[in-house]
Amino acid sequence: MPTKVDLLVIAPHADDSEFGIAGTVAKLTAAGKKVAYVICTNGDKGTSDYKITAADLVKMREKEQRAAAKVLGVSGVTFLGYADQSLEDNEELRKEIVRQIRIFRPSIVATTDPYRRYIQHRDHRICGQVVLDAVYPYARDHMAFPDLFEQGYKPHKVRQVLTWGTEQPNYWMDISETFEIKIKALRCHKSQVGERADLEKWLRERAEAAGKTQGYALAEEFHRTEIWR
């Protein structure tokens, strides 16, 4: 079993964690906290390059994600391997996410916000919803997925959930000192961001806007839910 972590980041695709929470991850790992990643899909459709094969893209994106995680000090990356654009809000995915939560036993789980209105990637919406359901009540209750319990995956109570990409932020993390690490980690995802010249400018503007109301130069914003039951 992997070591218990302080934060478990569950993302639909490679690179989503870097866009959403990398500055926070870098800040936590620098403070000695343990962080692990779970990536739901293999990213086999995330390209506009007609020449690359899906199999080669999967290998490339896994390599990029591991490199980004290393930059951030993440303890490890687990790839669930679902096809890109295929996530479903079903028992199979819920069970797998519950398994991961019970393996890593985090105090905090972070994922995409499923309640963002209008247009967002379907995998993002479904990943976020399944993770929230897995956190509460499934991962907590020993009679949920009894076969997992019989296999030694004991129930676990997550204490906080952070969702990024939210339209209703209520929690901000000062990333003024880790913003450059966030950019370095994102640059590892060459298949997704390439040499995009405006990447840093765009992200800096977002981070400035997020931090403005809190008195931070640069911030990442989340919706935080505390779980007491």
The whole-number average pLDDT for the span 89-116 is 98
The average confidence (pLDDT) of the chain is 96
Structure tokens at 12: 């639909």
- Residue 161, by phi and psi: left (phi above 0), alpha (psi -120 to 50) or beta? beta
How much is the pLDDT for 1?
A: 57
- Three-state SS string across 81-141, please? EECCCCCCCCHHHHHHHHHHHHHHCCCEEEEECCCCCCCCCHHHHHHHHHHHHHHHHHCCC
Whether residue 121 has pLDDT greater than 80: yes
Largest CA distance in the chain: 52
Fill in the DSSP letter of residue 208.
H
- pLDDT value of position 130: 98
- Contacts of residue 167, Cβ cutoff 8 Å, sequence gap at least 6: 113, 115, 116, 117
Structure confidence at residue 2 (pLDDT):
62
Tokens encoding 20 = 């959403």
Domain parsing of the chain, residue ranges: 7-226
Strand-pair category, 160-164 with 171-174: unpaired
Find the helix or strand (DSSP H, E) in which 202 lies: helix 199-212
Question: Using the 8-state DSSP alphabet, how is residue 58 labeled?
Answer: H
| pLDDT single digits (tens) 130-181 | 999 999 999 999 999 999 999 999 999 999 999 999 999 999 999 999 999 9
Domain 7-226 class, CATH top level: alpha beta
